[in-house]
Structure 1
């Protein structure tokens, strides 16, 4: 049945035309923008995923900048530490020369002072954007570590947390420790230490057939906390020359130090004191005087001191804790090196070895940090590239398919236009029936 009121053919042709025009607009949008999904209405789920991934890529771009800044900062510290190591090596050469009897030790000492001043100049200037990794004298908790933003970790629930590479400062300053700035606890009242030596009375390691022992326990540490071991010795093979109440055997914690660090510092200082006494001839080379460290699983460290055997070889020790000490540099012992005398030259040779090792350890620590930062920076770059590729696979248009589809739609559009024209001529055919 034909009707002049309702042209069903034209309606069908119009519907077809609208569908073709809609697809044509979508295809042209893909071709002009290069994206198959431009907004949430195109595909809400994929659009949301792509936007989250784009935000992550933007965040990783900022992380790359942070890693670049961290890499530069650590590089300055590493270069300075290596330079200090070289200068200390030169200083060792001068100290070795001073061991000879027929040299001008005063002139050699002048060279050593010049090298020490150069080390101070380097450690002071080794900063990047105001941050100096060769200075760690601040007692504020956390000040001994620099956090380099290294990643953004997204959990399965969508939450995001930042991750850091922690770079520990490596103090190579020559500043002197100021114990007078702190407050010493009364004997036996150390708040962070315990054990036999943390007692009101001096503990005597009385000579016996078996070397006697006593200990101090480092329960906890905090920056600016110092512990000194006062030593006194009776006459005998130990000799009064081993007496010490001037903090030769001491350690001041800086931020980042553990109980084990303090315990090893005290033990090393004590053993160095023994070696020095043996070198000076005031202590028998076969002496059993020594200090050893043990560390419990909970981090508590114990320094065990071993005394002498035989009657009259008594050694008395006492541990004193001092809080809020003004922290000195780890190379402050450079200030005590004086080769102008034979005794000073001999002592300096032993001291310089430890100082060189301190500088080497610092440079090695920076080198490890540099390697980790470089590795992370390369990973972040590759991860950003992978995420960008993933986003493209989700929302980018297939240009070959879009081109083929556009040509097909153009043909369909022409056919739909002709079909609509034919449908619109249908009423004219009905009019011919009435002629």
Structure 2
């Protein structure tokens, strides 16, 4: 039905055209932008995700740039360290040359000084954009929280939406050659534990700490400050055998007589020179020793030397005669005398003109030799004298205490570890260890310090008591800690006694103990061998540093490759969410254009009907 009030066909055609126009606008937008979702109104969820991921991808792109910057710094440090290793090799070669007799060490030192300056120059020049990993300024280079060089490696968003920037760390203690506060690869390592409170020996001439040929455990020796060795049997030197004279036993009744007293326990052994008097508390009763009366006549001489005719002309001959009568009684005689001159030094002197008598310790627990009631008839005494000597007791020692610090050790939260074995009187050694955490927990500290003899005694008690319940450990002075077996449990003296700290190991050793820049063979020609050893050690440390850098460079390359792929993958993911299908969009646009044309024609037809109605009123 046709109405003069409403043109239903035109209205319908117009609505269709409007719908087609809206669809065409959307289709044209997709075709022109390539995006299916351009605004939040198109699809709020997808638009939000894609917008966030575009932002994240920009951050990942910044990570790629940061990785390139890190690679440049690592490459610079690697190049510098490689050059330094070459110079260290040349440096060592010149040190070896300087060992040759006749080489002018002053001239060689001039070459070494130039190489030293070259190493320092390389370390200072190995800088990229102000970042220098070979010449550092770190307050504590041994602290991993302070010595790390961080490089951005990743931008991360977790499931909850929280974001974080990840970094990969290079600890500069592994590569720094010179650090302003010390601890660089070519500097002294400030973590040297020295004598470890006295339980290991140390020579100040050492250039490398922890070299087991130079750092040794200490051994008890007669309660003197420890030297290598253990307790020793009682021994004393006789007077010089009369030089140029003889002992003639051919006269009627000629003889030498004396009493030999062996292995008695002394109530006051601390009176012996060199001991510290720590055995004065030995409880009685005291063993009086083994006593034997000895007489030497021509018969004894003839039994040993039938061809001498009873006339002894040398100390060697007299020692042999004495041995023939004393050996079966528990003593031994030597025709020479070895002693330190001056006493307490390391200068061992051999005196072939003197004799010694020592106990074989066949009687009781003591270690003692005494000649008493010495007399002679018709002959001299051949150097014999009335004398006594106490043997040394090795199951005790006084260690010279020096405070020390058990230091931090990079990312090892427990710090440096110290281990050692301990033994008394030849019993099987026990193994013990402690670290920074152990020390701090024991003393309620956070410094790792063992500061007093009392603390050292406490530390040793905590380590040794369980295996050695009869061990007494006491702080005796501000510089001395005494270790000894309880005399109620052990009375033994002499060569059967010993106390030793052995196999001392420190986890960070060997460590350098001098500065590379301080090497001077002209001023210290006697240290060339130690310098060579030092250069070998620091070269190995530098090589380890290059290994660390190489691994870091490899990780940067891998992370850079991953980051590049990640950006591409994120772009693809965003495209899957919001990109338009151009084939579909263009086909839809053509269809809508056709529909638009048909709609216009429909509108024209509808409007034509209205014209016919108007004609009725003319």
What is the TM-score with the length of structure 2 in the denominator? 0.50
Deviation track 1:287-337 (CA, whole Å, cap 9, x = no partner) reads: xxxx99777999999999xxxx979999999xxxxxxxxxxx979532343
Quote the Cα distance in structure 2 between the aligned partners of 1:312 and 1:342.
41
Residues 174/379 of structure 1: CA separation in 2 closer, same or farther (3 Å cut): closer
Equivalent residue, structure 1, for 2:566: 383
Q: Is 2:91 the partner of 1:96? A: no
Q: Which residue, 365, 374, 379 being the options, matches 2:557?
A: 374
The structure with more strand, counted as a fraction of residues: 2
Residues 297/368 of structure 1: CA separation in 2 closer, same or farther (3 Å cut): farther
Residues 159/78 of structure 1: CA separation in 2 closer, same or farther (3 Å cut): same
Say how many residue pairs are matched.
354
1:22-33 alignment, distance < 5 Å: 22-33=22-33
Alpha-carbon contact 1:139-1:254 (below 8 Å) kept: no
Residues 297/153 of structure 1: CA separation in 2 closer, same or farther (3 Å cut): farther
Quote the Cα distance in structure 2 between the aligned partners of 1:204 and 1:362.
30
1:294-313 alignment, distance < 5 Å: none
Q: Which residue, 493, 497, 516 being the options, matches 1:334?
A: 516
Deviation track 1:93-145 (CA, whole Å, cap 9, x = no partner) reads: 11121222232222222211211111111112222222221234522663311
Equivalent residue, structure 1, for 2:34: 34
User: What SS class does the counterpart of residue 36 from structure 1 fall into?
Assistant: coil
Deviation track 1:167-187 (CA, whole Å, cap 9, x = no partner) reads: 111221287859xxxxxxxxx
Quote the Cα distance in structure 1 between the aligned partners of 2:439 and 2:22.
71
User: What SS class does the counterpart of residue 154 from structure 2 fall into?
Assistant: strand
Alpha-carbon contact 2:408-2:436 (below 8 Å) kept: no
Equivalent residue, structure 1, for 2:591: 408
Q: Which residue, 166, 169, 173 being the options, matches 2:169?
A: 166
Quote the Cα distance in structure 1 between the aligned partners of 2:8 and 2:439.
89
Alpha-carbon contact 1:135-1:172 (below 8 Å) kept: yes
Deviation track 1:265-300 (CA, whole Å, cap 9, x = no partner) reads: x99xxxxxxxxxxxxxxxxxxxxxxx9977799999
Larger radius of gyration: 2
Q: What runs of 5+ residues in structure 1 fail to find an aligned partner?
A: 179-191, 206-210, 215-231, 268-290, 318-328
Quote the Cα distance in structure 2 between the aligned partners of 1:197 and 1:124.
36
Q: What runs of 5+ residues in structure 2 fail to find an aligned partner?
A: 184-190, 202-215, 220-224, 231-339, 347-399, 421-430, 441-447, 449-458, 464-493, 503-510
Alpha-carbon contact 2:36-2:578 (below 8 Å) kept: yes
Bigger RCO of structures 1 and 2 (CA < 8 A, at least 6 apart): 1
Quote the Cα distance in structure 2 between the aligned partners of 1:252 and 1:115.
35
User: What SS class does the counterpart of residue 178 from structure 2 fall into?
Assistant: coil
Q: Is 2:77 the partner of 1:74? A: no
1:5-404 alignment, distance < 5 Å: 5-139=5-139, 142-169=145-172, 170-173=175-178, 233-234=226-227, 256=410, 258=412, 262-263=416-417, 332-340=514-522, 343-404=526-587
Of 361-370 and 425-434, more deviation after overlay is shown by 425-434
Of 36-45 and 168-177, more deviation after overlay is shown by 168-177
- CA shift, 1:357, in A, is 0.8
User: What SS class does the counterpart of residue 15 from structure 1 fall into?
Assistant: helix
Quote the Cα distance in structure 1 between the aligned partners of 2:96 and 2:29.
80
Quote the Cα distance in structure 2 between the aligned partners of 1:135 and 1:257.
22
- CA shift, 1:352, in A, is 1.1
Of 163-172 and 423-432, more deviation after overlay is shown by 423-432
- CA shift, 1:431, in A, is 4.4
Quote the Cα distance in structure 2 between the aligned partners of 1:402 and 1:298.
73
